[in-house]
Amino acid sequence: MSSPAETPQRPMRADARRNYDKLVAAAREAFTEDGAASLEEVARRAGVGSATLHRNFPTRQHLLETVYLEEVEAMSRTEGLDGLGPWDALETWLRRFAAYAVTKRAIGDALVEYMDRDSEVFQRCAGVLIDSGEPLLQRAQEAGEARPDATFIDVAKMIGGIAGIRTADAEQTERILSLALDGLRTR
């Protein structure tokens, strides 16, 4: 069975698109609250029947992958950062990345049940993050505002590691993130 990353998209009727969007929104909410939320719970939250859910997402994995990919793509957008200075654009994007990673742990954990970190979905997400974040880091480095020896992979792993600290509350996570970003910035 193919994954959403492999499935060609065809145009949907307006009502089918609304149901699809409601399912994805309900799944995003349910999986963020509880990575083990049932498909029945997702259908109930979306206000559609289980047949509609399964017509759009034949398996739980398909639904998880779709939500994960759409979330990463939305989080990775850089519109609105062009007007910021190089460091401010990078810091804004990295803070958004960290906030996303903290709230989406349950979805990532649930996906790991179905596939390993080398899967096409995880690789595609990594590509989206690199394509968005790497130019921001390079711009800050060229302006002399970020350490020249840091690679985007270094920075992404640092942010991911901070976001993955399960024993830290929001205040402590923010403090650790600020310390890490301070270490990335040149003075």
Tell me the pLDDT band of 9, cut-offs 50, 70 and 90. low
Given a contact cutoff of 8 angstroms between Cβ atoms, the answer to whether 86 and 149 are in contact is: no
| Residue 128 predicted with pLDDT over 50 | yes
What is the percentage of the chain residues whose pLDDT exceeds 90? 37
Given a contact cutoff of 8 angstroms between Cβ atoms, the answer to whether 63 and 57 are in contact is: yes
| Residue 1 predicted with pLDDT over 50 | no
DSSP string, 22-84: HHHHHHHHHHHH-TT--HHHHHHHHT--HHHHHHH-SSHHHHHHHHHHHHHHHHH--TT-TTS
Given a contact cutoff of 8 angstroms between Cβ atoms, the answer to whether 86 and 145 are in contact is: yes
The owner of tokens 């069975």 is: 1
Tell me the pLDDT band of 105, cut-offs 50, 70 and 90. low
pLDDT, residue 122, reads 76
| Residue 4 predicted with pLDDT over 60 | no
Q: Is the dihedral of CA 34, 38, 43, 45 positive or negative?
A: negative
Q: pLDDT averaged over the chain?
A: 84
| CATH 2.40.128 is the classification of domain 14-58 | no
Q: What is the DSSP letter of 8?
A: P
pLDDT tens-digit readout, 134-154:
999 999 999 999 999 999 999
| Residue 104 predicted with pLDDT over 80 | no
Predicted TM-score of the model (pTM): 0.75
Read off the pLDDT of each residue in 22-44 and give the average, rounded to a whole number: 84
Give the architecture (CATH level 2) of 66-184: Orthogonal Bundle (1.10)
Question: Which residues of the chain does CATH 1.10.10 include?
Answer: 14-58
What is the percentage of the chain residues whose pLDDT exceeds 70? 85
